[in-house]
C-alpha cells in the first residue's frame, strides 16, 4: 500500500497534538484555572510515560520551576479532591524534569531535598504512594549528578532514607538502594552525620541476616558490608556490639554448613569486611569463638590455594575480589597466631593454622612468579604483595627458598610503583596540592608497596643469601631513595611533626635494614654513592628531629645509624669538620648524655642512676640503640680530630662526672659502666684537654669506684 504523507496521525500523534495544545495553554493561560486544567492533562501524560525528552524540555520551557513550586506550597485542594493533590502534581512535574541531568542538578531541585525527605518520613496512604514514587525518582536523579551525593548527605536525606527503610515504608527497597549509593559515594560523611540512623538500618539488616534461612541470607551478605563502617561506632556503641554479635552468629551458621562457591564467597567477603572494621573484636572469646576463627582462616587459605594454584591465570581473573577478602582473613590469622595477650586461639590451633597459611602463601608466591609486566598495575598484584609482606615480617623460616627466588620481582615491583609515585606526586592535582605516594584505593595513582615489604627485608638482610640477592637486585639504592623521600613526606607538614605515622614507622624499619647492611656489607656502604647522600641527610635531620617531642625512637635510629655510617665514611668530605657534621655530633651527644639522670630510690632512699623521664616511655624501643650509639661514638673519637672539642663544648664529661659522683655505684649496672667507660677512655686517650677535664673532676676516684680498669690505666699514663 502506498504511503500517504497527508494521512491523519495515529493514536500517538493525536496524543502529541493534545500535549502541544496543553503546552500552548500553559504558556498563554490567562488565569490559574485554565493553566491548572492544561496541567492536569500534561501530568497525566507524564505519569503514563508518554513524554519524550524533547517534550519534557518543552514542558519545562512552558512552566519552569515557578508553577511546580506553587503547587508544592499549596495546602488547600479543590473541594472533593485528595488532600495532597497539588503536592502530587508538583512532584510529578519535578520528577519529569529530573530525567534531564542538567535540570536534576539545578538549585531549584536541590533546594527541594528537605521537602523530598519530609515526604519519605510521613505516613503513606494509597493516595500518596505516587508522591513517594516521584520523590524516589527525583532523589535517584539527583544522586546521579556530580554534586548530588554531597547535597543529599548535607540536607539530611540519609536520615530520611534510614527511617523509611527501618519503618518498612512504601518503597523501602528503593530507600535501601539509595543508601547503598550514598554510602559508596560518601561513607565517612554519612556516618559522621547520621550514625544512629545508619546503626538502626544495620540492626534491622543483621537481625534479618540471623533469622533468615533461605537464599535471602546470602543476598544480605552482599548488602551488609556497605553498612559496616571503618570508624569506631560499631565497637563503641551497645547497638553496634549487638549487631556484631548477630553477624558473628549468622556467619557461624553459614560457614559451618556445606556451601556452594556462590554461597561461600559472599560470606567470606562479609567476614573480611568485619575484620577490616573491627579486627578480631567481633569474634567472642572462648571455645566457640576460637573454633570459628580457625575455621574462617582455614577456609580463606583453602580458597586462596584453589584459585591461585590454577595453571591458567585467566581462571583467577573473576575471583580476585574473593581472594583479596581471603587475604584480609589470613592477615588476621597471622596476628592471632602471634598474639600472646588474651589470645583467641589455643597453641595447637596456632600451629595448625601456621602450617595451613604456609601452603596458602606458597600459592601466592606461585601466582606472583607468573605475573607479566603489563599486569603490574593490577590492584590484585598489590594486595598479593602486601599480604606476602605481612607473612615475611613475621615468619622468617618457612618458604625461604621460594621467597628468595621471588625477591628480584618484589624489588622490581616496589621500585616501579615508587618511581611512578614520585612522578605522580610531582604533578599538580586539580586542587593545586601534590598527590600522595600512598594514594587511596581507586584513585588510579600508584601505591606504596615498599612500606609493606620493609619488615620482611629487615629480617632477610640479616642473612647471607637473601641479602646478596637484595643487593644484586638493586634494593639498597631503592631503599636510600625511599628513605630520603619518606623524610621529605614526614617533614613537609607545616608546624610541628605529626604523631607516629606509617611514614615514621617506615623510616624506622628502613633504619633497621641499613643497620644490617652497615654491619654485614660495609664495602657496599663505602662504594655506593646513594649512601653518601643518605649520610648527608642523616647529618642534617637529627638536629631538626631531636628537639621534637614524641619522635625519640626515630631520632635514636637516625643518631645511631649516622654514627655507625660515620665510622665507614670517615674520609668523606661531608664529615671533615663541616657545620652539618658538627651539628650532627652535637645532637648525638645530647641524645646520649641526656638518657640517664639521678633519682631517689624509693627503697634505699639513696640517689640511684635512672632513665630520664623524657626517655622512659620510649626506652624499651631505644635501649639497644643507645648502647650501640655509645659504642659507635667511642669508635668515632679517634677518626675525627675535631670531635673531642665538640664534646668539651657540650660539657658532657662534666655532666657524666657529676652523675657518677651523685649516685650509689650499686645502682649502675655493668653494661652501663662499660658504655660510659668506652667513650671516656677514647676521649682521654685521644685528647689531652679531655683527659685534663676528667682528672679535674675526680676521674681517677670514680674510675676506681666503678671498676673502670681501662680508664684507670689510661689516666695513670703520662
* pLDDT tens digits, one per residue of 141-155: 999 999 999 999 999
The pLDDT-based confidence of 531 (bands split at 50, 70, 90) is very high
Residue 50: its pLDDT value, please? 55
Residue 438: its pLDDT value, please? 37
Residue 548: its pLDDT value, please? 85
Residue 27: its pLDDT value, please? 61
Average pLDDT over residues 558-573: 96
Is the per-residue pLDDT at 293 higher than 90? yes
The pLDDT-based confidence of 39 (bands split at 50, 70, 90) is low
Residue 343: its pLDDT value, please? 83
Contacts of 263 (CB under 8 A, 6+ apart): 218, 254
Which one has a higher pLDDT value, 317 or 570?
Answer: 570
Burial code of 30-39, b = ≥16 C-beta within 10 A, e = fewer? eeeeebbebb
The pLDDT-based confidence of 421 (bands split at 50, 70, 90) is confident
- The model's pLDDT over 669-718, given as tens digits with 9 standing for 90+, comes to 999 999 999 999 999 999 999 999 999 998 999 999 999 999 999 998 87
Which one has a higher pLDDT value, 499 or 207?
Answer: 207
Residue 214: its pLDDT value, please? 87
Average pLDDT over residues 620-646: 96
Tally of residues, the chain: 718
What is the rounded distance in angstroms from the CA atom of residue 460 to the CA atom of residue 466? Answer: 6
- The model's pLDDT over 348-377, given as tens digits with 9 standing for 90+, comes to 999 999 999 999 999 999 999 999 898 899
| Sign of the alpha-carbon torsion through 411, 414, 420, 423 | negative
CA-based nearest residue to 625, from 546, 561, 543: 561
Residue 51: its pLDDT value, please? 61
State the cell numbers at 240. 553496634
Is the per-residue pLDDT at 465 higher than 80? yes
- The model's pLDDT over 408-420, given as tens digits with 9 standing for 90+, comes to 999 999 999 999 8
Q: How many CB atoms lie within 10 A of CB 48?
A: 9
Tell me the backbone φ, ψ of residue 156, rounded to 5 degrees: 90, 15
| Sign of the alpha-carbon torsion through 274, 277, 280, 286 | negative
Instruction: Indicate the range of 77-81, 105-109, 400-404, 565-569 predicted with least confidence.
Output: 77-81
| Sign of the alpha-carbon torsion through 624, 625, 629, 635 | positive
Is the per-residue pLDDT at 338 higher than 80? yes
The pLDDT-based confidence of 11 (bands split at 50, 70, 90) is very low
**Which uninterrupted H or E stretch holds 705?**
helix 699-705
Residue 271: its pLDDT value, please? 97
Residue 174: its pLDDT value, please? 95
Q: How many CB atoms lie within 10 A of CB 601?
A: 16
The pLDDT-based confidence of 23 (bands split at 50, 70, 90) is low
Average pLDDT over residues 36-55: 61
Instruction: Indicate the range of 200-209, 260-269, 426-435 predicted with least confidence.
Output: 426-435
Average pLDDT over residues 131-144: 94
Residue 441: its pLDDT value, please? 38
CA-based nearest residue to 228, from 267, 286, 271, 291: 271
What global pTM score does this model have? 0.85
Calculate the CA dihedral of residues 652, 657, 660, 661 and round it to 10 degrees. Answer: -150
Average pLDDT over residues 17-42: 60
Residue 125: its pLDDT value, please? 76
What is the rounded distance in angstroms from the CA atom of residue 241 to the CA atom of residue 220? Answer: 19
Largest CA distance in the chain: 131
Is the per-residue pLDDT at 510 higher than 50? yes
Residue 247: its pLDDT value, please? 96
Is the per-residue pLDDT at 586 higher than 60? yes
The pLDDT-based confidence of 256 (bands split at 50, 70, 90) is confident
What is the rounded distance in angstroms from the CA atom of residue 368 to the CA atom of residue 452? Answer: 16
Which one has a higher pLDDT value, 133 or 444?
Answer: 133
CB 333 within 8 A of CB 297: yes
The pLDDT-based confidence of 538 (bands split at 50, 70, 90) is very high
Which one has a higher pLDDT value, 2 or 320?
Answer: 320
**Mean confidence (pLDDT) of the chain:** 87
Residue 431: its pLDDT value, please? 40
Amino acid at each position: 500500500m502506498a504511503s500517504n504523507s497527508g494521512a491523519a496521525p495515529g493514536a500517538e500523534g493525536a496524543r502529541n497534538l493534545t500535549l502541544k495544545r496543553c503546552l500552548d495553554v500553559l504558556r498563554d493561560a490567562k488565569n490559574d484555572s485554565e493553566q491548572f486544567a492544561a496541567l492536569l492533562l500534561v501530568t497525566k501524560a507524564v505519569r503514563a510515560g508518554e513524554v519524550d525528552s524533547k517534550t519534557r524540555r518543552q514542558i519545562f520551557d512552558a512552566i519552569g520551576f515557578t508553577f511546580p513550586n506553587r503547587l508544592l506550597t499549596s495546602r488547600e485542594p479543590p473541594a472533593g479532591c485528595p488532600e495532597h493533590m497539588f503536592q502530587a502534581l508538583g512532584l510529578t512535574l519535578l520528577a519529569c524534569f529530573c530525567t534531564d541531568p542538567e535540570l536534576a542538578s539545578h538549585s531549584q531541585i536541590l533546594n527541594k531535598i528537605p521537602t523530598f525527605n519530609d515526604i519519605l518520613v510521613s505516613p503513606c496512604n494509597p493516595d500518596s504512594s505516587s508522591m513517594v514514587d516521584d520523590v524516589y525518582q527525583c532523589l535517584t536523579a539527583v544522586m546521579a549528578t556530580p554534586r548530588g551525593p554531597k547535597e543529599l548527605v548535607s540536607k539530611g536525606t540519609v536520615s530520611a532514607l534510614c527511617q523509611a527503610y527501618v519503618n518498612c515504608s512504601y518503597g523501602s527497597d528503593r530507600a535501601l538502594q539509595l543508601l547503598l549509593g550514598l554510602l559508596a559515594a560518601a561513607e565517612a560523611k554519612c556516618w559522621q552525620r547520621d550514625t544512629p540512623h545508619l546503626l538502626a538500618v544495620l540492626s534491622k539488616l543483621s537481625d534479618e541476616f540471623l533469622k533468615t534461612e533461605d537464599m535471602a541470607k546470602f543476598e544480605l551478605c552482599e548488602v551488609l558490608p556497605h553498612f559496616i563502617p571503618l570508624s569506631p561506632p560499631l565497637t563503641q556503641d551497645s547497638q553496634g556490639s549487638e549487631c556484631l554479635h548477630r553477624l558473628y552468629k549468622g556467619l557461624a551458621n553459614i560457614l559451618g554448613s556445606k556451601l556452594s562457591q556462590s554461597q561461600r564467597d559472599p560470606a567470606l567477603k562479609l567476614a573480611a569486611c568485619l575484620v577490616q572494621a573491627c579486627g578480631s573484636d567481633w569474634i567472642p572469646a572462648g571455645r566457640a569463638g576460637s573454633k570459628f576463627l580457625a575455621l574462617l582462616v582455614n577456609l580463606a587459605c583453602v580458597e586462596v590455594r584453589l584459585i591461585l594454584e590454577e595453571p591458567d591465570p585467566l581462571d583467577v581473573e573473576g575471583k580476585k575480589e574473593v581472594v583479596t577478602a581471603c587475604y584480609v582473613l589470613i592477615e588476621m590469622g597471622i596476628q592471632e597466631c602471634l598474639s600472646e595477650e588474651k589470645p583467641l586461639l589455643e597453641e595447637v590451633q596456632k600451629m595448625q593454622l601456621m602450617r595451613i597459611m604456609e601452603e596458602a602463601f606458597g600459592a601466592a608466591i606461585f601466582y606472583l612468579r607468573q605475573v607479566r609486566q603489563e599486569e603490574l598495575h593490577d590492584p590484585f598484584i598489590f594486595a598479593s604483595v602486601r599480604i606476602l609482606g605481612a607473612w615475611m615480617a613475621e615468619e622468617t623460616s618457612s618458604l625461604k627458598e621460594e621467597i628468595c627466588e621471588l625477591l628480584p620481582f618484589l624489588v622490581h615491583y616496589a621500585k616501579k610503583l615508587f618511581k611512578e609515585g614520585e612522578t605522580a606526586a610531582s604533578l599538580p592535582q586539580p586542587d593545586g596540592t601534590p598527590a600522595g605516594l600512598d594514594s587511596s584505593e581507586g584513585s588510579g595513582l600508584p601505591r606504596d608497596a615498599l612500606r609493606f615489604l620493609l619488615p620482611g627485608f629487615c629480617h632477610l638482610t640479616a642473612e647471607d643469601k637473601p641479602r646478596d640477592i637484595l643487593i644484586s637486585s638493586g634494593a639498597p639504592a631503592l631503599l636510600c631513595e625511599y628513605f630520603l623521600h619518606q623524610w621529605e613526606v614526614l617533614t613537609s607538614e607545616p608546624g610541628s611533626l605529626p604523631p607516629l605515622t606509617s611514614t615514621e614507622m617506615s623510616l624506622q624499619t628502613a633504619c633497621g635494614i641499613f643497620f644490617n647492611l652497615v654491619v654485614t656489607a660495609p664495602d657496599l656502604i663505602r662504594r655506593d654513592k646513594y649512601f653518601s647522600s643518605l649520610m648527608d641527610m642523616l647529618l642534617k635531620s637529627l638536629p631538626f628531629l631531636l628537639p621534637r617531642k614524641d619522635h625519640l625512637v626515630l631520632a635514636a635510629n637516625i643518631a645511631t645509624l649516622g654514627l655507625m655510617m660515620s665510622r665507614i665514611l670517615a674520609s668523606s668530605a661531608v664529615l671533615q669538620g663541616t657545620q652539618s657534621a658538627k651539628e650532627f655530633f652535637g645532637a648525638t651527644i645530647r641524645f646520649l648524655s641526656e638518657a640517664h639522670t639521678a633519682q631517689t630510690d624509693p627503697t634505699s632512699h639513696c640517689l640511684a642512676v635512672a632513665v630520664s623521664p623524657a626517655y622512659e616511655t620510649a626506652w624499651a624501643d631505644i635501649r639497644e640503640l643507645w648502647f650501640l650509639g655509645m659504642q659507635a661514638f667511642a669508635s668515632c673519637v679517634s677518626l675525627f680530630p675535631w670531635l673531642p672539642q665538640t664534646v668539651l663544648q657540650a660539657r658532657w664529661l662534666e655532666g657524666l662526672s657529676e652523675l657518677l659522683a651523685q649516685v650509689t655505684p650499686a645502682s649502675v649496672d655493668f653494661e652501663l659502666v662499660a658504655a660510659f667507660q668506652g667513650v671516656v677512655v677514647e676521649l682521654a686517650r685521644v685528647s689531652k684537654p679531655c683527659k685534663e677535664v676528667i682528672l679535674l673532676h675526680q676521674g681517677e676516684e670514680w674510675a676506681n669506684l666503678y671498676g673502670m680498669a681501662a680508664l684507670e690505666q689510661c689516666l695513670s699514663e703520662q
